[in-house]
Amino acid sequence: MRKTFKYRIYPTKKQIRIMNCWLEECRWLFNHSLAERKAAWEQEQKSLSLYEQHATLPVLKKQRPSLASVHSQVLQNVAVRIDLAFKAFFRRVKAGEKPGYPRFRGKGRYDSFTFPQSGFSLEGNILRLSKIGNVKVVLHRPVEGNIKTCTIKRSSTDKWYVMFSCEWEPTPLPENNEAVGIDVGLHSFATLSTGEQIENPRFFRQEERELAKVQRKLSKAEKGTPERKKRRKVVARVHERIAWKRQDFIHQHSRKIVNRFGIIAVEDLNVNRMVHNHCLAKSISDVAWSGFFQLLAVKAEWAARKFVAVNPAYTSQDCSGCGHRQKMPLSERVFKCPCCGLVFDRDYNAALNILGLGLQSLGICPRSPRL
């Protein structure tokens, strides 16, 4: 099993110049390889393979000598990225979706390069990179498993990170048969079938005023000037701060849930379609449901827990006690069943229904909430 470990690195000014040059060379190669594939299909109805594009690298190095300054395996990985992009594109086409065609990368839009096999080594807190030198790494936690690949990434705020993809064997948690259903929402981030609620922190809303302030300053700066570049970085820092807070929040709560419960049932939500609702799009994007569910699924797999995604249809409209279905406008926060007299918070009722559906999918008979 693969697991990625991400660390901050502190390259020297000379190393930063080299890595920025590498990124530009990789960007040029990416665009050239994409143009080759596009032209081959349009002119000859032919699909270029990964190996055919690898074979052209020696010729390209003669035509563009600056490519020779980049490690050979890093250049080969650019072709791998193109190949993966096209595979993902055709996979989505076959699935009946409407995917975007792989796009060319503009200046500054290529922000990482990868050593897939060799050219790097980690010795203590020093990362040795071929043709770049020794770079200081802040190892805030130990690297676990065998390192397979090394990726260097530049953030939008010009910070540098290294990501090690490691072959890693997880340690399962002790067996636990306690089950939970989770209903996500905007009023509260999540409601558990145990009756507990996780408050919605609304990180974007907290920073919205500060973001508007720095964006106004950015809009007043003249294009192409150092001042505009400086202010754009300030805007990027605000967005980065929001993303870090959100990521930390979902990491902490997903870990608590996986540690506590052996069976986890959630809704199989299509968040991409939900954000088409222009009244709620900002709030839905702020809560990061997709990221929360992904972390729950991954951590549950590592811990040998059971994770189930159920159809969310009618979970808020069905009575968790008797199964009676009634319409529930979003403005109504309390579910009152006219058949059995059950009175619950609507999110708690939905969480109980999600738990019941999850247990049914596993072949377990759910218990009534009244028992």
Is 240 considered catalytic here? no
| pLDDT (0 to 100) of residue 4 | 94
- Look at 68-82, 154-168, 173-187 and tell me which has the smallest mean pLDDT: 173-187
* 178 SS3 class: coil
For 303, other C-beta atoms within 10 Å of its C-beta total 18
Average pLDDT of the chain? 91
Strands (E) across the chain are located at 2-10, 112-115, 120-123, 126-129, 133-138, 146-154, 160-167, 179-184, 188-192, 197-199, 263-267, 306-310, 334-336, 343-345
The residues facing 4 across adjacent strands are 165
| pLDDT (0 to 100) of residue 371 | 37
Domain ranges for the chain, please list them.
2-167, 179-361
Q: Which residues contact 258 (CB under 8 A, 6 or more apart)?
A: 173, 264, 296, 299, 300, 303, 305
Is 183 considered catalytic here? yes
Distance CA 113, CA 308 (A): 35
Average pLDDT over residues 65-69: 94
Residue 228 CA, chain-centre distance (Å), reads 29
Distance of CA 287 to CAs 237, 252, 312, 351, Å? 19, 14, 18, 18
How large a percentage of the chain has pLDDT more than 90? 73
Of 25, 83, 267, 318, the active-site residue reads 267
Tokens representing residue 1 in the block = 């099993």
| pLDDT (0 to 100) of residue 340 | 83
* 140 SS3 class: coil
| pLDDT (0 to 100) of residue 242 | 95
Q: What is the pTM of this model?
A: 0.87
Of 25, 183, 286, 318, the active-site residue reads 183
| pLDDT (0 to 100) of residue 368 | 52
Is 345 considered catalytic here? no
Of 25, 83, 286, 347, the active-site residue reads 347
pLDDT band at 367 (very low <50, low <70, confident <90, very high): low
